[in-house]
Amino acid sequence: MNLFIVDTETTGLSPADSRCIEVGGILFSVDDRAVLGQCSFLLPADENPVAHINGIRAELTKRPQAARSGLEYFYALAKHANYVVAHNADFDQQWFGQGALPALTQQWICTMDDVDWPRINRTRPSVMHLAVAYGVPVWAAHRALTDCIYLAQVMEREPDLELLIANALEPKKTYMALVSYEDRQKAKDAGFRWDGEQRRWLRKLRDYQVSDLNFDVREVAAWLSRESEGHLGNGTHWARRLQQEAER
């Protein structure tokens, strides 16, 4: 089995008003626990308001480089992968299929949300926390290929990687935490994120993860289906019903 580990550096949070300015990729053999190929390249941008974070000045992206060849090699590597892997995959995936970056059509695996790393006791760990937990030296941050290398070296050190990937591919359901305002820290500690618009704590979980929680949850799809049978009213009513559910 081969994984294509990818990472992006961008000028902002959304393709709607920002650009991807760097792409990194590593083709990783799970069977061999080894890197088969890797590359990174820059994409031109007129400005980068977050250069102080990723260290990529806009003028650097316009220097002569083999970006076209890098892009071709990147997608050549991708063709040999069974799955695409990224840390915070929802963020990275949105940049593919936009502009100069064709879509990556394989199923994506998120190493932050989908993989239950046994050496780290926290939900949604950063790449740095994950690397440190596996004894991977951390020498730099916020460049695309560097973060890919960290993930590859973590995978090299994980003896049960095949099992972790198999579990990561299991379907998840979205649950809302049924906690009171006073107990909201329980949901936060368990990796639930606050949806300010719908006023609820949400997290995608597998069935076996639900049983490990120390508070009640309810599957969102099932709850919405029940409400839509004639009981789901306007937004105010919805928010009130969510609060009632949480206080039950």
Q: Quick: pLDDT tens for 65-95.
A: 899 999 999 999 999 999 999 999 999 999 9
Domain boundary pick from 133, 148, 168? 168
Look at residue 207 in the predicted model and tell me its pLDDT.
86
Rounded to the nearest integer, the mean pLDDT of the chain is: 89
Q: Quick: pLDDT tens for 159-195.
A: 999 999 999 999 889 999 999 999 999 999 888 999 9
Co-location of 77 and 48 in the same domain: yes
Look at residue 132 in the predicted model and tell me its pLDDT.
96
How many domains, in total, are found in the chain? 2
CATH number at residue 115: 3.30.420.10
Q: Quick: pLDDT tens for 44-55.
A: 999 999 999 999
Q: pTM for this one?
A: 0.81
Which residues have C-beta within 8 Å of that of residue 58, sequence separation ≥ 6? 21, 45, 46, 47, 48, 51
Domain boundary pick from 151, 168, 185? 168
Return d(Cα 221, Cα 204) in angstroms, integer.
Answer: 11
Which of the four pLDDT bands, split at 50, 70 and 90, describes residue 222? low
